[in-house]
Amino acid sequence: MQFNRSKVMLACVVASAMALGACSKNQDSKKDDTLTATSPATGEASNLTERNKQQRLIQTLQANFKKADINAKILDVKPTEMPNMYWVSMEGMSSVYATADGKYLIQGDVIRLGDKKLSSIGDKIQATENKKHFASLKVEDLLVYPAQGKAKHVVYVFTDASCPYCHKLHEHMSEITAKGIEVRYIAWPRGEQFIPAMESVWCSANRQTAFDQAIAGVALPPATCKNPVRDQYALGLKMGVNGTPAIYSSEGEYLGGYMTADEIESRLNK
């Protein structure tokens, strides 16, 4: 994709892993932590200096987006291990990288060399942010399927009752929980028209039964309670979720879209 030439919205940029085995978002439809950077030259903490750099970078990027008719909201920027390269988080979009002067963007992964295994310089940053988001959730606001026996792992899954791949994943719930994996569903309706069904599930006396019905196509009674569905949808946007199911470990690592029970277990045990 040629970013400047096509002038397409960054919202169209979806990580390739998210595009496989997932239902895409229907198109019709900060916590302000103190950031610490270590100066490579002196090793001294420079909170304020780095913070000012980040704010200037955000302003520059937003101005350049506006010039290019790109509708993108920047949520945060963080310095990476690569000199003068920043990780940029945007609402409802996959993260990108930007040079410190805000003149260049890099879409996709920036790969670290030198180790036996290739890895992206942004993976740990994204996972750390995701872990904070999950820690802020209340278990009672989720749809939880406890592990059978002793829990070995917990996964968070953004789901939508209208999504065929979510249906396919849900059919194997007993296999997943039998492996000692607790599944915590987060509501993520892929469009405005799917919100009522998910709100009805979350307002039901038994969410598991209601979700089973909704995912099978049964029309549920209208929601009659205050519910967290829209807040959970907003959380997904902050994390760059753009399709369902989106499966994450409790450490914030993105595991994939639709996966078998064996595949989920294998990823978690690595």
Q: What stretch of H or E contains 56?
A: helix 47-67
CA angle, residues 230, 246, 128, in degrees to nearest 5: 85
- In terms of Cα–Cα distance, which of 260, 261, 264, 257 is closest to 241? 257
225 is catalytic: no
- In terms of Cα–Cα distance, which of 26, 6, 57, 41 is closest to 242? 26
163 is catalytic: yes
User: Which distant-in-sequence residues (6+ apart) come within 8 Å of 233 by Cβ?
Assistant: 187, 188, 189, 195
Of 23, 163, 184, 203, the active-site residue reads 163
Q: Give the three-class secondary structure for 142.
A: coil
Of 23, 76, 184, 190, the active-site residue reads 190
Of 23, 76, 166, 203, the active-site residue reads 166
Of 23, 76, 160, 203, the active-site residue reads 160
C-alpha neighbours within 13 Å on the C-beta side of residue 87: 20
CA angle, residues 225, 230, 235, in degrees to nearest 5: 135
Question: Which residues are known to be catalytic?
Answer: 160, 163, 166, 190
